[in-house]
Amino acid sequence: MRAIVVNELGDPDVLQLSDVDDQQPGPGELLVEVGAAGVNFIETYQRSGLYKMPLPYTPGAELAGHVLAVGEGVVGFEPGDRVATVDGRGSYAEQAIVPADRAVRVPEGVDVETAAALMLQGMTAHYLTQSTYPIKPGETALVHAAAGGMGLLLTQLVKAAGGKVIGTTSSEAKAKLAAEAGADEVVRYDQFEGDDLAVEVLRRNGGQGVHVVYDGVGASTFDASLSSLRPRGMMVSFGNASGPVPPVAPLRLSQQGSLFLTRPTLANYIAARQELEWRAGDLFGWIQDGTLTVRIGATYPLGEAAQAHRDLAARKTTGKLLLIP
């Protein structure tokens, strides 16, 4: 079968399309034909070496597709079932091994591309708005990169919970998408320097700080994010799109209003099978009843994985990127 293989860390060109041996599912595993694989920022961090990976490896963990074979002891799945996961072992491939206890069934009415597009960013938007800082009606969230994969989903889920969204983004076309997803205010953060961004956020929120900041941009927005919060507000730093955030002294949280700071990651919010099923089930249900829409911004053939990474890093993309093997 064909798969992307990374033999050395580096720029997107290290994502090489290669012929590799077919795999067989071991005990408790599924072999899945990948219908669509999600492209996520984490794979750029792994490729560049910011997050450690053993070499060589096939990138990607998010996928949806059909079960081809089941390993010994697997209960509840059989060949032909449509499944999705965020824990595939190398989803940039025609086939991938998936631990059965990390797979969820894709319900009728949800196509494979939507399922693949929903799993990682969708469950992240779910835990951020339902568990990390459960948004209450009338509260305001600042959502950075609001036209991105995470941003469009977060915006919709904050609105569905009755909250107000102030979104940020870097172009008029992206601002329009954020507004269409429900953002009440959209700030062009590329037009503000330093804490001027926070001044603008407060102005757009009636002079008040926001209750929560969902910040996946990282280094370039962190300071303005803290300054945008009301006393006892929650800073949720969940990503590094512009680079990792440098160390922060706890005293600064006190000086800026007894703030809360967390740096969450999806794995800790779906570790229990029950939580995985709850989050995935809610998301599929919201797709089916129209509460949530997933924007698939671009699809790429498997061999163009490098271009997908280039586009993502160059801020050229909106919504979700998929590889279609």
Minimum Å gap between C-beta 69 and ligand NDP is 30
- What is the distance, to the nearest Å, from the Cα of residue 18 to the centroid of all Cα atoms in its chain? 27
d(CA 292, CA 151): 13
Q: Helices (DSSP H) in the chain: which residue ranges?
A: 41-48, 112-127, 149-160, 172-180, 196-204, 222-228, 250-255, 273-289, 305-313
Packing angle of the helix pair 41-48, 305-313 (nearest 10 deg):
100
State the number of binding residues for ligand NDP (CB under 6 A).
30
Query: Using the rule CB under 6 A, which residue among 266, 280, 287, 322 binds ligand NDP?
Result: 266
- For residue 325, what is the DSSP state? -
Q: Which of the ranges 17-25, 40-48, 202-210, 302-310 carries the binding residues for ligand NDP, by CB under 6 A? A: 40-48
Q: How far apart are CA 119 and CA 180, in angstroms?
A: 22
Q: Of residues 89-128, which lie at the interface with ligand NDP (CB under 6 A)?
A: 120-121, 124
C-alpha distances out from residue 100 to 86, 94, 106, 169, Å = 12, 18, 14, 38
CB atoms within 10 A of CB 75: 9
Residue 217 found at the interface with ligand NDP (CB under 6 A): yes
Which range touches ligand NDP (CB under 6 A), out of 34-42, 75-83, 103-111, 303-311? 34-42
In the complex with ligand NDP, which residue's Cβ is closer, 2 or 315?
Answer: 315
Q: Rank residues 103 and 217 by Cβ distance to ligand NDP and give the closer one.
A: 217
Q: Does 147 bind ligand NDP (CB under 6 A)?
A: yes
Binding range to ligand NDP, per CB under 6 A, among 193-201, 247-255, 282-290, 311-319 = 311-319
Residue 220 within binding range of ligand NDP, rule CB under 6 A: yes
Measured from the Cβ of residue 135, the count of other Cβ atoms closer than 10 Å reads 24
- Nearest residue to 12 (alpha-carbon basis) of 245, 307, 296, 260: 307
Beta bridge partners of 319: 148
Binding mask 167-206 for ligand NDP (x = CB under 6 A): --xx---x--------------------------------
Q: Between residues 118 and 241, which has the closer beta carbon with respect to ligand NDP?
A: 241
Please report how close the Cβ of residue 30 comes to ligand NDP at its closest, in angstroms. 23
**Secondary element (H or E) of residue 34:** strand 29-39
Can you tell me which of 41, 284, 286, 300 binds ligand NDP, judged by CB under 6 A? 41
Which residues touch 268 (CB under 8 Å, ≥6 apart)? Answer: none
- Between the CA of residue 233 and those of 129, 160, 245, 271, 285, what are the distances in Å? 14, 21, 19, 27, 30
Q: Of residues 239, 280, 283, 287, which one binds ligand NDP by CB under 6 A?
A: 239
CB of 51 to ligand NDP, least distance (A): 10
Listed ranges 7-15, 21-29, 39-47, 277-285: which one lies at the site for ligand NDP (CB under 6 A): 39-47
Q: Is 154 in the site for ligand NDP (CB under 6 A)?
A: no
Q: Using CB under 6 A as the criterion, which residues of the chain lie in contact with ligand NDP when the complex forms?
A: 40-42, 120-121, 124, 145, 147-151, 169-170, 174, 216-217, 220, 238-242, 264-266, 312-313, 315, 317
